[in-house]
Amino acid sequence: ATAELEHALGILARETWETENHKDGEVKEMCEIYMQKGCSKEDALTTLSIMSKYKDLFIEHMLVMEHGILPPDADDKWQPLKQGVVCFLAFAAFGMIPLAGFIV
């Protein structure tokens, strides 16, 4: 889970840089994705030109549409540890069920 978070943060940083430095290229790139999904070029350009005015919204939308990942929550650095603890507790609890017959 830590690697997944780091990967998502890396993609977020790259897309943020690309949006700040090459906004038109990113809009055209997203326009191609929209056209593959069935939008006309004019509608896609209109939608994306409006959406690109809102930087954070546009970047999060790019992460979902272009890369297929949800925007990372960088504030929750403990999430991988929480997931590990829950997984271990579930394994320990349900792993005891087959042994319960021998213990009782």
The 3-state secondary structure of 21-87 reads HCHHHHHHHHHHHHHHCCCCHHHHHHHHHHHCCCHHHHHHHHHHHHHCCCCCCCCCCCHHHHHHHHH
pLDDT in tens, 30-64: 999 999 999 999 999 999 999 999 999 999 999 99
pLDDT band with cut points at 50, 70 and 90 for residue 81: confident
Residue 80 confidence (pLDDT): 79
Task: Give the pTM.
Answer: 0.69
Residue 1 confidence (pLDDT): 66
Name the DSSP letter for residue 96.
T
